[in-house]
Amino acid sequence: MGTKFKDYTLRTIKSLLLPIMVYVFFLIIGNERFGSSRQMITIARQSVMPVLISLAIACNMSIGMWDFSAGGVVAVASIVGGNLAKMTGTGIPGMIIFCMIVGVAVASFTGLLYNFMKVPSIVLTIGLVLVYETIPFFVFGGGGVLISGKMTILALAPYCFIVLAIMFAIFYVVFNYTPFGHNVRALGNGQLIARNAGLNPGKTKLYSFIFGGIFLGMAAVMNLSVSGMIKPAAGMASVALVFDSMMGIFIGLFLSKYCNLAIGVTIGTFTMKMLNTGLIAVGFSTTIREITTGLFLLIILGVSSNQGKISEWKAKRQRAKEANAKYAAGTM
Amino acid sequence: MKKFKKSIALLLGLIMVIGSLAACSSADNGSKDSNEGNKGGFDVVTNEDSIYPAASELDPYSVGVLLWGYTDQLGGSVKSNLEYLGKEFNVNFSFVEALTMEEYISGTENLIQRGVDGILSLLILPSMIEKAEEAGVYLQCILNESTDPDTLKLIAESEYVTGMVTENDYECGVAMVDDLYDRGMRNIVWIAPEAGMAANHDNRVRGIEDAIEKHDDLNVLANYRGTEQAEALQSFAATYPEMDGIIVTGGAGGGTESIYQVMQSEGLNGQAVLATIDIGEGTGEKLESGELGWIAGGQFPTTGIAFAVLYNAMVGTPINDTPEKTIYRPFMVLQSKDNYDNYMKFVEGSIPPYTGDEIKALIKKFNPEASLELVNEYGDNYSIDDVVSRHKDLFD
Amino acid sequence: MIKECLLETKGIYKSFGPTRALVDVSIQVCRGEIRGLIGENGSGKSTLSSIVAGAQTADKGEMFFKGEQYLPKGNVDAQKQGISMVVQEMGTIPGITVASNIFLGNLNQFSKSGILSISKMNKAAKKILTEIGVPEINPSMFIDKLNFEDRKIVEIARAMYTEPEVLIIDETTTALAQKGRTLLYKLIDKMHKENKAVLFISHDLDELMSVCNNITVLRDGNLIDTLEKEDMSIDKMRRLMVGRELKGNYYRSDYDGSYGKEVVLDIRQATTGVNVENFSLQLHKGEILGIGGLSDCGMHEVGRVAFGIDKPLTGEVKLIKDDVLISNPQVAIRNKMGYVSKDRDKEALILNASIKDNITLPSLPILENGFIITNKSESELANQGVDQMEIKCYSPEQRCNELSGGNKQKVVFAKWIGNGSDILILDCPTRGIDVGVKANMYQLMYQLKKEGKSILMISEELPELIGMSDRILIMKDGLIQKEFARSEELSEQDIIDYMI
């Protein structure tokens, strides 16, 4: 029990080390403009939608599938779901239901197409971005969607956190405590062996898209709540949403050695948002902020990929030293 | 397997239901105070005492239009305005969407093949000029300008490029800063799309930066250039509690509405004043409450002026000897609820801000006194009060 | 006593394109039988076992299990009906727990209302692991933390948890060390006592003879004979497998262990990250230098250092003739060295590439004419390799992953011979290969020695070392314990004491 607790504590510390370091760093250099509770709450609120998208993408990425169309799904779900809610006068519950139905429906379409066409996911989903971005131009007069007043309440604390907590719990339970979640991980780590063990890769991948669609639908609800108005956008503008979430996923994968993927992704997204706010506090311009953020990510990924190399190098040096000493002493 | 197939069938059914619901929905997106541009079209203003020829008396012409799209607010209003002028001038307009340079060039080719006499285009590119000259088709730039020296040289030398008419984005940027400063705001932030994305936003930013330089006691707390404008404002609000002025040049996916959302959720209403561009939903209330101090918009009538310059060339009475020099027009600036109400009635209402006769007055063939100076005079006078004074009788 | 027939195949046919893998194979396996299945690579034994295990379907023929017609839809279905298989290749999935691996594809039995009971699953896994004799393996542990052997044992647990009536073991023992083999033999014995059956596939004829009641021999897809215990002998089995007398000795026939005086490769004071410290050896021209020992004695690391794959932390590896330091494989290849890795599928061959591409790969600089490498020159070299090594394939364009193990090894050899390698480092060169091909390999090695080539042969098989080497170095704990010269009197017993 003692060892288990110690191991657990150590892993928790390692998981939280990165955001703590970022926080402390900007607390020191932020000219007293960083670190307030209001700011942390704002950062947490800003993290909700990207985390939801990250969870959707992370599930697919576990099985080796990229999904660049996630942003497009969110865009379609926001506009169609939001307008349907307004049309039916169903308010927030209607918005949630319709956005999630549309999110699941569109994501399922991606999954069905993937199984049917058997093209690489990266190719398919980039192509579908163009399709999904066009859909809003043809529905509801092409004017997008506008909500206001009480319908935007989910953007505020604590409602946004309640939403995140519920969705996070769903992901955590499904990914770790259901046969589907185990099958996803099995397929992701050994497709051939899993297939021979009776798993159906096509079915599992489709379910993965559908499952991701639930989170994209909720991300659409948050997107609407925060912005109030969503206009159709073309030219792969929605891919920007995906890239933001990807950063969280990369850090999440780096942290998954110490903690569950869902937790890692959440920490990763929050850390990136905190970094951005910290850079604003320091007074960096947009360009410098973007360069810094990119460099930060590169450093994290570089450290992650080369972890252990330093200790490995040290161990090798030590071994060489001992061997040379033995040889010189003629103790062979 | 049966269960799986049933699930797929249910899913596909769901997709079809939602698709048909969405597709069959009404054009109205459900908002009450929709300001989608005058997509209903402008009424033809019949003036029996008109000294200008009626449409039926005019030779028919065909004009092509190249723009980013016609379903958004500004694009829709541009289309409505030109369709109205088409009725007044016996001109048939062909509207073509173009986003990339290649689409502008291929759009020009297609319009020429369709036999247009002139083209109104957001972009002017050297290859477009070449094709227009080969075909003897006139080319007029609208809502934009070219600053490339080589292109300007080609424009100057060309017989077929009639000019460039656009809002003065630089002055707009200056005005936004000056207005906030005059209101006593001293700690501002400004937000714009990425540099290089659109020349008009870049010009607005230049104006903002130059105006800031003029005021030594004006403190720029932060700025942001990108698409995540609402999020940036959230971060600014959390980091700079002393922020009292916000400038947004526009260009975000959620439009000005997302900025209003953030101001509300961050409790900035009453603390900071916004200066922005693109009049839209909720502008009136925002002006009334004071959270919005300055807003510019009403760009679409500029296309009427541009059309006038083009039409002059098409009928053989060109009025612009210096097409390489941009004809600047001001934005319509609103600073009160009354301004907004008048704007909705007199600019976005059933009668366009420039009637057919008012545009015909710029055509030298119909009015020997028409000239570039008169065009500039129209621009100098342009304001909400100007439109009200010219058209209030038409609404009686 | 009339034995009850548990499993029967009648007239099984299976083809892969033009290759006939099984031709009218009919066998009967009764209760209590431990049936060995042997044959050269490509004889059809793995195909037969995979059809029985449900991994493939036969083109023609019938199968019966416990008297009823048997038509498994897949591995899982076969396992549910009572036939399980453990394969040679890695069959566990990293990144998930031991318990998840055991119950892969059958997790629903532990779920209620869609939620998986991890504790129930772990408990069930613990029970199985204890039953098969490995209670120390923690079912909640991620399988990555286990070594290769323990992972194989988890696979065995997966095969056993459904309490199969027939267990198929397909060349699994090559992946197991002593612990794993002992466990497996115990399980086989248990199956025998419980009146169940085992189909045991192995190339280790001694092992088969000691474990099995009877042995079925396949050759070129045909069933040749089934030998009862009293009829079994190594020579007979070999003869039936190959279809001819293995003329002369299996290994080289001479006991002349001479070699050239010239030292071609000098390893001096080499130390690696693990296992090897201050190691030195010299390889001579025309010499077959054998290195033997237990699996972790460091001999495999010596091979990697000699070829430049691993850089030594101390010391150096030098080619004497041109005074070249071997710092990486590119330098080694440029200086006419070749390396046959123990891990054939991962390190020696590009499985998705063609035979031609694999054979010509190290020789591309030689084939280059200006900046061009012509198809003709590549094809010529590839055809030469295929002919010389007698690789069974339909064309050099055939992909390597479609070849049998022996033919894959032949491709590896052809690669280095085609490159004109003067020094060959062979790490377990005949592992997983049938006797016929092994004999060919040994003849080839002897021929190369006669041509003045030098061979550093690393092997875990003492008979092979004794049979082929001019000198044998026995390693233990990274050091040379003893050197043996080639001699007719040299026996495994002489050597084994220095290994353990």
| pTM for this model (two decimals) | 0.76
Asked if the structure places residue B116 within a domain, the reply is: yes
Asked if the structure places residue A210 within a domain, the reply is: yes
**Does pLDDT of B46 surpass 70?**
no
For the sheet containing B245-248, what is the strand order? B219-225, B187-192, B245-248, B273-277, B292-297, B332-334
Considering chain C, tell me which residue range(s) the CATH 3.40.50.300 domain(s) occupy. 5-242, 263-499
Asked if the structure places residue A248 within a domain, the reply is: no
Highest mean pLDDT, choosing among A149-153, C374-378, C487-491: C374-378
Residue given tokens 């919005």 in the structure block: B292
**Does pLDDT of C41 surpass 70?**
no
Question: Is the domain of B250 the same as that of B269?
Answer: yes
**Does pLDDT of B21 surpass 80?**
no
**Does pLDDT of C263 surpass 90?**
yes
Q: Which of A186, A323, A324 sits opposite C93 (nearest CB)?
A: A186
CA distance C90 to chain A (A): 9
Chains that touch C (3 or more CB pairs under 8 A): A
Q: Which of A43, A102, A233 sits opposite B253 (nearest CB)?
A: A233
Residues of A in contact with B40 (CB under 8 A): none
pLDDT score recorded for residue C343: 83
Residues of A in contact with C277 (CB under 8 A): 319, 323, 326
Strands B245-248 and B273-277: parallel
Question: Is the domain of B160 the same as that of B174?
Answer: no
CATH class of C5-242: alpha beta
**Does pLDDT of C274 surpass 80?**
no
Place C470 in a pLDDT band, splitting at 50, 70 and 90.
very high
Buried b (16+ CB within 10 A) or exposed e, A49-74: bbbbbbbbbbbbbbbebbbbbbbbbb
What is the rounded average pLDDT of the residues C96-121? Answer: 91
Single out the residue in B297, B315, B341 at which a domain terminates.
Answer: B297
> pLDDT of C452-464, one tens digit each?
999 999 998 888 8
Q: Residue A228 and residue B253: Cβ atoms within 8 Å?
A: no
User: What type of residue is B51?
Assistant: I
Asked if the structure places residue B275 within a domain, the reply is: yes
B190 in contact with A, Cβ within 8 Å? no
Q: Residue C314 and residue A324: Cβ atoms within 8 Å?
A: yes
Question: Is the domain of B123 the same as that of B240?
Answer: no
Q: Chain A interface, mutation test: which of B4, B257, B263, most A Cβ atoms within 10 Å?
A: B257
Which portions of chain A are predicted below pLDDT 50? 332
Residue given tokens 């003739």 in the structure block: C321
> pLDDT of A216-248, one tens digit each?
999 999 999 988 888 887 777 788 788 878 888
Report the number of distinct structural domains present in chain B: 2
Q: What average pLDDT does the structure give for chain B?
A: 86
Q: Residue A203 and residue B4: Cβ atoms within 8 Å?
A: yes
Asked if the structure places residue B7 within a domain, the reply is: no
Searching chain B, which residue's CA lies closest to the CA of residue A276?
A: B235
User: What type of residue is B151?
Assistant: T
Question: Is the domain of B248 the same as that of B328?
Answer: no
pLDDT score recorded for residue B40: 54
pLDDT score recorded for residue B119: 97
**Does pLDDT of B174 surpass 90?**
yes
**Does pLDDT of C90 surpass 80?**
no
Searching chain B, which residue's CA lies closest to the CA of residue A286?
A: B224
> pLDDT of C351-365, one tens digit each?
999 999 999 999 998
Q: Residue A332 and residue C278: Cβ atoms within 8 Å?
A: yes
Distance CA C78, CA C281 (A): 52
Residue given tokens 């902020």 in the structure block: A289
Residues of A in contact with C93 (CB under 8 A): 186, 189-190, 193-194
Helix or strand (DSSP H, E) at C170: strand C166-170
Residues of A in contact with B239 (CB under 8 A): 33-34, 39, 277, 280-281
What is the rounded average pLDDT of the residues C174-185? Answer: 81
User: By residue range, what is the domain housing residue A170?
Assistant: 40-239
| A 107-136 → B contacts, CB under 8 A | 108-109, 112
Q: Residue A193 and residue C91: Cβ atoms within 8 Å?
A: yes
**Does pLDDT of B35 surpass 70?**
no
Distance CA C107, CA C103 (A): 6
Asked if the structure places residue A276 within a domain, the reply is: no
**For chains A and B, what is the number of CB pairs under 8 angstroms?**
144
Report the number of distinct structural domains present in chain A: 1
**Does pLDDT of B39 surpass 80?**
no
CA distance A98 to chain C (A): 25
C-alpha neighbours within 13 Å on the C-beta side of residue C407: 23
User: What type of residue is B15?
Assistant: I
What is the rounded average pLDDT of the residues C29-58? Answer: 89
For residues C473 and C281, is the Cβ–Cβ distance under 8 A?
A: yes
Asked if the structure places residue B344 within a domain, the reply is: no
**Does pLDDT of C203 surpass 70?**
yes
DSSP label at residue C82: T
Q: Residue C105 and residue A197: Cβ atoms within 8 Å?
A: yes
User: By residue range, what is the domain housing residue B237?
Assistant: 169-297
Strands C471-476 and C479-485: antiparallel
Residues of A in contact with B11 (CB under 8 A): 104-105, 108, 112, 210
Tokens of B200: 């008009």
Distance CA B242, CA B272 (A): 9
Place B26 in a pLDDT band, splitting at 50, 70 and 90.
very low
pLDDT score recorded for residue B75: 87
Residue C492 neighbours by CB distance under 10 Å? 12
**Does pLDDT of B133 surpass 90?**
yes
Q: Which of A173, A243, A267, A170 is nearest to A213 (CA)?
A: A170
| A 170-199 → B contacts, CB under 8 A | none
What is the rounded average pLDDT of the residues B239-261? Answer: 83
Question: Is the domain of B286 the same as that of B174?
Answer: yes
Alpha helices in C289-400 (DSSP H): 299-307, 329-334, 355-360, 364-367, 375-389
Q: Residue B254 and residue A138: Cβ atoms within 8 Å?
A: no
- C–B contact (≥3 CB pairs within 8 Å)? no
What is the rounded average pLDDT of the residues B187-202? Answer: 87
Place B222 in a pLDDT band, splitting at 50, 70 and 90.
very high
- Residue C250 to residues B363, C232, C234, C253, C427: CA-CA distances in angstroms? 107, 19, 12, 8, 19
The CATH number assigned to the domain holding B372 equals: 3.40.50.2300
**Does pLDDT of C249 surpass 80?**
no
The complex's ipTM works out to 0.78
Q: Which of C349, C463, C357, C346 is nearest to C407 (CA)?
A: C349
Q: Which of C268, C280, C265 is nearest to C478 (CA)?
A: C280
Q: Residue B18 and residue A231: Cβ atoms within 8 Å?
A: no
Q: Which of A41, A87, A232 sits opposite B25 (nearest CB)?
A: A87
B255 in contact with A, Cβ within 8 Å? yes
What is the rounded average pLDDT of the residues B1-12? Answer: 67
Place C291 in a pLDDT band, splitting at 50, 70 and 90.
very high
C-alpha angle with apex A36: A33 to A39, nearest 5 degrees? 85
Tell me which CATH code domain C263-499 carries.
3.40.50.300
Q: Residue A193 and residue C93: Cβ atoms within 8 Å?
A: yes
